[in-house]
Amino acid sequence: MCMFKKIAGIFRAVSGSPHPKNFTSAVIAAAGSSVRFGGETTKQMTELCGAPLIVHTLRAYEECSCIHEIIIVAKKSEIAEYDRICKDYGITKVSAVISGGFTRQDSVLKGLDAVSKKSKFIAIADGARCLTTPEQIEKVCRAAYKYNAATAAHNSTDTVKVADSKGFIESTADRQTIWLAQTPQVFKTKLYRAAAYTALKKGFDGTDDNMLVENVGHSIRLVECGTQNIKVTTQDDLIYAEALLRKREKEKLVEDV
């Protein structure tokens, strides 16, 4: 046991620690209108394996020891639902549920303004990434504690073609350098705040939060999180997510026997 503690101590020293000195706020972006998903119910409130999809995302951040508080940025019409959801599913780390902005970037900025004054790091996540695991979140957080900025991602296994304006292949990218960005995207809070407000001042729009930090010249560590950490966008994605969650449930039952 003594040797185990020594090894664990060395690991924390090298990779960062979830200690309160690294107080980490998770901002969950769940204010989208789900246009591509379709249907009358937004994807975050669509039932998935017996619970709203957003519950699976929240559970992952609830169960990750690196996360100290959760801020949910929600559709205004759904804010009242989250009080019930948190009570029914034992989500205790939620410190605020706020209304989203006109764009995802606006929504995350509102979430940033709601984090605790103790916040040292901010983990920004898509509410629709319901397959994210606590282990993946911790892995990205630890990289951020070491490098000040890190993102979940997957190194492309497909050959990537770059097209010209007419839709013909112009070149072939080196797939070893091509990564598909995921969430969480974790940054030192002061760094992200500076990046977010610089983007606001300059009118810079990014397709993800990494781009805002890239825009101020800071490097970001890529953390391999595999192919399962998808963002549910269409009904087909929901079928995949349900199948994988069922598979995980069965594997857990076998482990517990």
Q: Tell me which of 18-32, 124-138, 236-250 is least confident.
A: 18-32
The count of structural domains within the chain is: 1
pLDDT value for 254: 86
In a domain, 150, yes or no: yes
* Segment 109-120 mean pLDDT: 98
User: What's the confidence (pLDDT) of residue 11?
Assistant: 42
On the question of pLDDT at 17 being above 80, the answer is no
User: For the chain, what is the mean pLDDT?
Assistant: 92
**pLDDT of res. 95:** 98
Query: What percent of the chain is modeled with pLDDT above 90?
Result: 86
The label of the residue with tokens 């957003």 reads 54
**111: domain range?**
18-256
Backbone region of residue 135 per phi and psi (left: phi > 0; alpha: psi in -120 to 50; beta: other values) = alpha
Specify the pLDDT at position 255: 82
pLDDT (average), residues 5-20: 48
The reply to whether 8 falls in a domain is: no
**For residue 7, is it within any domain?**
no
Cβ 108 vs Cβ 209: under 8 Å: yes
Domain at 236, CATH number = 3.90.550.10
Minimum mean pLDDT range among 37-51, 77-91, 136-150, 166-180: 37-51
Q: Which residues fall within 8 angstroms of residue 209, CB to CB, at 6 or more apart?
A: 108, 124, 185, 187, 192
Whether 88 is covered by a domain: the verdict is yes
- 187-208 pLDDT, tens per residue? 999 999 999 999 999 999 999 9
Which range among 19-33, 46-60, 119-133, 227-241 shows the weakest confidence by mean pLDDT? Answer: 19-33
| pLDDT at residue 100 greater than cutoff 50 | yes
The answer as to whether 1 is a domain residue is no
pLDDT at residue 7 is higher than 50: no
Domain assignment present for residue 22? The answer is yes
**Over residues 116-145, mean pLDDT:** 98
pLDDT at 39: 76
Q: 124 with 185: CB under 8 angstroms?
A: yes
Examine residue 9 and state whether it is found in any structural domain, yes or no: no
- Cis check: omega of the bond before 184, within 30 degrees of 0: yes
Q: Give the C-alpha separation, 40 to 33, whole Å.
A: 10
Q: Of the ranges 9-23, 42-56, 62-76, 153-167, which one carries the lowest mean pLDDT score?
A: 9-23
SS (H, E, C) the chain: CHHHHHHHHHHHHHHCCCCHHHCEEEEEEECCCCCCCCCCCCHHHCEECCEEHHHHHHHHHHHCCCCCEEEEEECHHHHHHHHHHHHHHCCCCEEEEEECCCCHHHHHHHHHHCCCCCCCEEEEEECCCCCCCHHHHHHHHHHHHHHCEEEEEEECCCCCEEECCCCCEEEECCHHHCEEEEEEEEEEHHHHHHHHHHHHHHCCCCCCHHHHHHHCCCCCEEEECCCCCCCCCCHHHHHHHHHHHHHHHHHHHHHHC
Length of the chain: 257
Please check the confidence at residue 41 and state whether its pLDDT lies above 80: yes
How confident is the model at residue 32, as a pLDDT? Answer: 82
Q: pLDDT: is 35 or 62 the higher one?
A: 62
- Other CB atoms within a 10 A radius of the CB of residue 224 amount to 12
Of 238, 248, 253, 235, the closest CA to residue 39 belongs to: 235
Q: Is the pLDDT higher at 101 or at 15?
A: 101
195 is a domain residue: yes
Tell me which amino acid residue 70 is.
Answer: I
- The reported pLDDT for the residue numbered 13 is 45
Residues 215/203, Cβ–Cβ less than 8 Å: no
